[in-house]
Structures are given as C-alpha cells and as structure tokens.
Amino acid sequence: MLEAGVKAPDFALNDKNGKEVRLSDFAGRRVVVYFYPKDNTPGCTRQACAFRDRNSEYESLGIPVIGISKDSEASHTKFAAKHELPFILLADPELKAIQAYDVWKEKKLYGKVSMGVVRTTYLIDADGNIEKVWNKVKPDNNAAEILEYINGAE
C-alpha cells in the first residue's frame, strides 16, 4: 500500500462510457479513490451502494468519488445501472492504477492462494498527495468513515 504523504500516482483510465479520466483532471480538489475487487459481488456491491447513499454528502463537500476495479467498461455500465451508482467507475483491466497504488496482492480464501485487489481507499488532497489511506476496509462502513474523517479534519 502507498502511505499518506506521498504523491498519488496519476492514472488515465476509461469510465463506463469509454471516456478517459485522469486523476490530474481533479487537481485543486480532494478526491476519494477506492479500489475494489469485482463488480456485482456482495461486498463490492455493498461498498458501492454505501458510497451511492452518501453521494450527496460528498458532492456538497465538492469531493468526487472514483471506484476502480479490473472489470471492463461494459461490466461497469451494468453495475452502475443496476445499482444506480452516480459516481465515477473506472476500468483497469491492465492493472495500471491497481499496481501503481500497490493494491494487487496475494490473497487467501479457504486455503486457496490467488492474486487480487485488496479493498483499499485513498483520500487524495488538493495538491495530489495521499492524505489518508484506509486498507482492508469494511464495505459497509467505508463511505461513512471517510466522511467522518473529512468532517473532523476540516
């Protein structure tokens, strides 16, 4: 995982509509960037819906939310439509941002070892530095704990 205080790696990934989005597009603003394993899985759906349910609070603070997984643009389109997700979802099938943010790790599930995305959230400050990192986050609590931090840090 990257640590707070370091420069956040820029990325250029496509959203669900095929439009390229760069982290640098948000220069001068704080941004939440969260990495998750897979669209339409139970934990990832709960996490996305928690961000959806708190989206108006993020918008009122002027803080965009960006979700990144290795799923395709088409998968993101279906996921966003099915759950009415109003924030940006970026496709990273080549693992460019996922590896740059050091969230591609060995995982163990029921004794089986595989590589995958470790659920991690970064708050990027207005200068493009990592302000805070939440690793091994709980899907249901992540959106709320970030808002708690932001509201307490201002």
Crossing angle of helices 73-83/42-53, nearest 10°? Answer: 60
Q: Catalytic pick from 44, 88, 97, 98?
A: 44
- Say how far apart CA 1 and CA 99 lie, in whole Å: 10
Q: C-alpha angle 83/86/92, rounded to 5°? A: 85
Active site residue 44: yes
- 116 burial (CB, 10 Å; 0-12 / 13-18 / 19+) is middle
- Say how far apart CA 122 and CA 115 lie, in whole Å: 21
Helices (H), the chain: 42-53, 55-60, 73-83, 96-100, 142-153
Do 12 and 22 form a contact (C-beta atoms < 8 A)?
yes
Which residues are catalytically annotated? 44
